[in-house]
Chains A and B, each alone.
Chain A
Amino acid sequence: MTQLKDLYEELIRGFNSKPSDLNKCTVTLNKLKLGLIEAGLLLPKGDVILGDLVVAREVLEIGAIVSIRSRDIPSFDRYFAQLQTFYTDYSESLPPSKREYPIRGLNLIRLLTQNRIADFHTTLESLDADVIAKNPFISHPVNLERWLMEGSYSKVWNAREEAPAEEYKFFVDSLMGTIRNEIASCEEAAYESLPLKDAATLLFFPNQSGLLLFAKERGWQVDISAGTINFKTKGEEKMEIPKQRLISASLAYARELEQIV
């Protein structure tokens, strides 16, 4: 137990020093997790001292934040899964943690960037409507999702600077990648051709070279002399009669009718 305490203090020191010593934290965290398992606190069962649980929760929270800072998403995923026990099952007995909502918000953003919208909503459902509307850490991802679904991409773009916590910025880049691809697929469907300058604005590219590279990736025809991008027009969709299906359906009806008569 004393050893655990030393490790814990070491972790706090490493985490609070500016800038945090990520490598040291990761090493200490691994040791701490082993210690927590031995003390039966990582996945608490039965009666445990509340004070210990608070410490265990803090260790996991720091772990989650450290893994975001060191850009290790799978590790964040694991920490969050372990933290859920503390957030849901012990929500009544433990004092609320000030890191709970930032971490929940981070998890929501993570789901959003991975385009796991169904999981996003399932997770959201477990939160109070009040929290969703008022807590800045939660309402940020909620608004992002709403704008994404509506198609108000410029709002998402503008909101990237308004992240409520430093860690949120980590996800911004991948989110912007998602948005660009979304916008690009919309443009392919909605425009016949687009001037290069406007395309750059729509796709939030500060200069043309980025746009040209992106256009190449998506296989757009760029007409440099006229300064436009031409999108492939889809040919008239051929209407095919699903013969196989119609035949099998008719046969099935015949068989059923036979049975009835």
Chain B
Amino acid sequence: MPDVEMKPSEAKPAEEKKATTEEKPAPPAPISPVVEIKNNIALIDRAVSTLEPRFTHRVLRTLTALRKRLDDTILRNAVETIYAHDSAVKASLLVWLPEAAVADQSMDIDSSAKTPSEVVPEAEMYLRLLIIHHLLASTSEEVQSKALQLANETVEKMQSLNRRSMDAIAAKIWYAVDRAYDLAAEISDARPLFLAAQRTAALRNDDEAHAALINCLLRSYIAYNLYDQADKLVSKTTFPASASNAQFARYHYYLGRIRAVQLNYSEAHTNLQQAIRRAPAAKTAPGFYQSVHKYFVVVELLMGDIPARSLFRHAVLEKALHAYFETVKAVRTGSLTQFQTTLKAHAAQFADDSTYTLILRLRQNVIKTGIRRLSLSYARISLRDICVKLNLDSEEDAEYIVGKAIRDGVIEGRIVHEKGWMECGSQKSGYGPEVSEVFGRRIAFCLDLHNQSVKAMRYPLNAHRKELAAAEGAREREKELAKEIQEGDLDEEDLGGDF
């Protein structure tokens, strides 16, 4: 499966914008954006006429890269060249772009000769998507509110057209709509719209839009801390299995957050791990990568594990995860004082990441780790000493806490109440049926990966005939070669085709 573009859904918009402006003045692109847009439109046309959604996907894959190179003139030129002069669609698109100076790019002269007579509506939607993204990239609020208007109009149009060949583009448009509402700080207002659209998408088996919409809804619920509703949405819907990797990564991320809040840490851990695995490379979407890892680290701590040290040395994560690294250190040493100071020092950041309540829950883990360390290093320790070492308030508390730790299986041992000490038992050996279970899970994962990749391979229609013909030709050539007894080179140019 190809790696589809992925925007850092939680990243600060400011960073994103900065990236856009930085890249504008340096266009060493091998192909100019206008030409690229035109090529893309041609591809979309082909996709619609041959009923092969593959081509549309190819177009959408370039969306992120293209988005960063857009400006008013480019979009204007693209619209001008693609549509005929008196086209109504053209006028409706141009309304959204500011009046530009006379187009002065030389390369659109050659294309003006042939103006396509009719353009599929999918192409219009694609152009609208580009315009929305372009408007959203602007910093001024006025332009952003224009983007919101355009987004709403586009949604209306898209729903009235109701074409299946538009599904892939529609999914992207929904994402853009969500972003538009987000920037206008009106996400909660978009919920009814999304809910209605999600129902329709589910009924029409429109998997891509369905996946995108579920994610938009989850995001909106979680942004308002409505975990209850988000959980209900998850339990009432099935996430389409054919959704793209990027949507899956997002879905797993949200699911991980919901489960973490519900104290279902093992499931949260699985989901966050999936999100990390499915997410695009760290450099492409650093915002997403960082925020998944923040939750991942906290959940791992809550499960009683200590995240690997190398994670915090990762170039993208090092800075973002600094506060979490400090927390990990405190938990690892089992020192309540250090934990409290770390918590106090970084409270603002934790609140920003909305991990604060999760981190508060770590307090008991700190105590548990402390007890475990004590039980490993002492054969027998008095409750008073435990109390001093762990900074607990009273011996009475220590007795209850140790009792609970023994009950929960954190440590093996006994309390001898009359003498006021704890005796620590032997450690369990690491080899049991669990090991084979874990191993079995890994094998299952690898096998599944293999099967999935076999399924994902594409066999173009009639390609084998070509191969047969090629083989035929090769045989004949071979005969000739044998006849002439000379060295020849079998060229394989027609074996693979352009796929």
Q: Which residue numbers of A lie inside 8 Å of B, CB to CB?
A: 88, 117-118, 121-126, 129, 132, 146, 149-155, 182-183, 185-192, 194-195, 198, 202, 239, 241-242, 246, 249, 252-253, 256, 259-260
- The residue from A121, A183, A259 contacting B262, defined by CB atoms under 8 A apart: A121
Residue numbers in B under 8 Å from A155 (CB-CB): 393, 397
Inter-chain contact B402/A121, CB cutoff 8 Å: no
Assuming the A-B contacts A190-B415, A191-B417, are A152 and B433 also in contact, with contact meaning beta carbons closer than 8 angstroms in the complex? no
A122–B403 touching, CB < 8 Å? no
Decide: A189 near B403, CB < 8 A? Known: A126-B227, A256-B447.
Answer: yes
Among A123, A152, A198, A246, residue most surrounded by chain B Cβ atoms (within 10 Å): A152
Please, which residue of chain A has its CB at the minimum distance from the CB of B436? A246
Verify A129–B403 contact, CB threshold 8 A: no
- Could you tell me if A186 and B407 are in contact, using CB atoms closer than 8 angstroms? yes
B-side contacts of A186, CB under 8 Å: 400, 403-404, 406-407
User: Which of B225, B227, B396, B406 sits near A190, CB closer than 8 Å?
Assistant: B406
Bound-complex Cα distance A182 to B400 (A):
10
Residues of A within 8 A of B163 (CB): none
Q: How far is the CB of A258 from chain B (nearest CB, A)?
A: 12
Among B228, B361, B400, B406: residue with most chain A CB under 10 A: B400
Residues of chain A contacted by B300 (CB below 8 angstroms): none
Contacts A146-B360, A150-B404 known; 4 new A-B pairs at CB < 8 A: A121-B357, A150-B401, A151-B400, A186-B403
Inter-subunit contact A122/B436 (CB<8 Å): no
Residues of chain B within 8 A (CB-CB) of A129 are 351, 356-357
Roughly how many angstroms separate A132 CA and B399 CA in the complex, as a whole number? 29
Q: Which B377-403 residues have C-beta < 8 A from chain A? A: 392-394, 396-397, 399-403
Interface residue B372 (Cβ < 8 Å from any Cβ of A): no
Chain A residues within an 8 Å CB radius of B351: 129
Q: Are B403 and A183 in contact (CB under 8 A)?
A: yes
- Is B183 an interface position by the 8 A CB rule? no
Q: How far is the CA of A191 from the CA of B225 in the complex (A)?
A: 43
What residues on B are CB-neighbors of A149 within 8 Å?
Answer: 361, 364
Q: Does B197 contact A (CB under 8 A)?
A: no
CB atoms of A190 and B402 under 8 A apart: yes
Q: Which chain B residues in 288-324 approach chain A with CB under 8 Å?
A: none
Task: Write out, one digit per residue, whether chain B residues 414-446 have a CB within 8 A of any chain A CB (1) or not (0).
Answer: 111110000000000000110010001001100
- B262, B360, B406, B444: which contacts A189 (Cβ < 8 A)? B406
Interface size on B, residues (CB 8 A): 46
With most chain B CB atoms within 10 A of its CB, the pick from A123, A191, A195 is A191
Does B261 reach chain A (CB closer than 8 Å)?
yes
Question: Within 8 Å of chain A (Cβ to Cβ): is B217?
Answer: no
Is residue B226 contacting chain A, with contact meaning CB distance below 8 A? yes
Residues of chain B with a CB closer than 8 A to A126's CB: 225-228
Q: Which residues of A contact B416 (CB under 8 A)?
A: 191
Contact A190 B403 (CB under 8 A): yes
Bound-state CA distance A260–B414 (Å) is: 52
| Distance between Cα atoms of A195 and B450 in the complex (Å) | 62
| Alpha-carbon distance between A253 and B399 when the two chains are bound, in angstroms | 49
Say how far B228's CB is from chain A's closest CB, in angstroms.
Answer: 5
Q: Are B414 and A152 in contact (CB under 8 A)?
A: no
Cβ–Cβ contact B443 & A253, under 8 A: yes
B residues near A (Cβ < 8 Å) are: 225-228, 231, 261-264, 351, 356-357, 360-361, 363-364, 367, 392-394, 396-397, 399-407, 413-418, 432-433, 436, 440, 443-444, 447, 450-451
Q: In the complex the two chains form, what is the Cα distance from A160 to B400 in whole Å?
A: 18
Nearest-CB residue, chain B, relative to A118: B262
Bound Cα distance from A259 to B455, whole angstroms: 13
- Given A129-B356, A239-B432, the answer on whether A122 and B407 have CB atoms closer than 8 Å is no
Nearest-CB distance from B39 to chain A (Å)?
40
B261 touches A121 (CB 8 A): yes
B425 to chain A, nearest CB (A): 11
The A interface, classified by DSSP as helix, strand, loop or mixed, is helix
Which one of B393, B403, B413 has the greatest number of beta carbons of chain A within 10 Å? B403
Residues of B within 8 A of A146 (CB): 360, 363-364
CB of A150 within 8 A of CB of B261, answer no
Residue from A125, A154, A191 in contact with B227 in the complex, judged by beta carbons closer than 8 Å: A125
Whether the Cβ atoms of B405 and A122 lie closer than 8 Å is: no
Q: What residues of chain A lie closer than 8 Å to B364, measured between beta carbons?
A: 146, 149-150
CB distance from A78 to the nearest CB of B (A): 16
Give the Cβ gap from A160 to chain B, nearest Cβ, in Å: 16
Contact across chains for A151 and B404 when beta carbons are under 8 A apart: yes
Chain B contacts of A124 at CB under 8 A? 357
CA distance A260 to B446 in the complex (A): 12
Would A151 and B357 be within 8 Å (CB), given that A122-B231, A126-B225, A241-B433 are in contact? no
In the complex, are the beta carbons of B263 and A121 less than 8 A apart? yes
Query: Would you give 7 A-B contacts (Cβ < 8 Å), ordered by A?
Result: A122-B261, A129-B351, A129-B356, A151-B404, A190-B403, A190-B414, A194-B417
Q: Which residues of A contact B417 (CB under 8 A)?
A: 191, 194-195, 198
B263–A117 contact, CB under 8 A?
yes
**Minimum CB distance partner of A155 in chain B:** B397
User: Beyond A124-B357, A190-B407, is A151–B447 a contact (Cβ under 8 Å)?
Assistant: no
Contacts of B227 in A (CB 8 A): 122, 125-126
By a CB distance below 8 angstroms, the chain A residues around B444 are: 252
- 5 nearest A-B pairs in the assembled complex, by CB-CB distance: A151-B404, A186-B403, A151-B401, A190-B403, A118-B262
B400 adjacent to A152 (CB under 8 Å): yes
- Chain A residues with CB under 8 A of B443: 253
Q: Which single residue of chain A is at the shortest CB-CB distance from B231?
A: A122
Residues of B within 8 A of A118 (CB): 262-264
B357 & A154 in contact (Cβ 8 Å cutoff): no
CA distance A19 to B462 in the complex (A): 88
A189 surroundings in chain B (CB, below 8 A): 403, 406-407
Q: Are B396 and A154 in contact (CB under 8 A)?
A: yes
Residues of A within 8 A of B228 (CB): 122-123, 126
Q: Are A187 and B225 in contact (CB-based, < 8 A)?
A: no
B400 partner, pick from A153, A188, A242, beta carbons under 8 A: A153
Provide the bound-state CA to CA distance between A118 and B258, in Å: 10
Measured in the bound complex, the distance between the Cα atoms of B444 and A172 in whole Å is 49
A150–B363 touching, CB < 8 Å: yes
Enumerate chain B residues within 8 angstroms of A195, measured Cβ to Cβ.
417-418
Instruction: Tell which of A189, A195, A256 has the most Cβ of chain B within 10 Å.
Output: A189
> What CA separation (Å) do A170 and B363 show in the bound complex?
29
A190 to B371, CA, bound (A): 14
Contact B363–A125 (Cβ < 8 Å): no
Contact A152 B261 (CB under 8 A): no
In the docked arrangement, what's the CA distance between A132 and B351, Å?
Answer: 13
Residues of B within 8 A of A191 (CB): 403, 414-417
Could you tell me the distance between the alpha carbons of A253 and B413 in the complex, rounded to whole angstroms?
Answer: 40
Q: Which residues of B contact A202 (CB under 8 A)?
A: 399-400
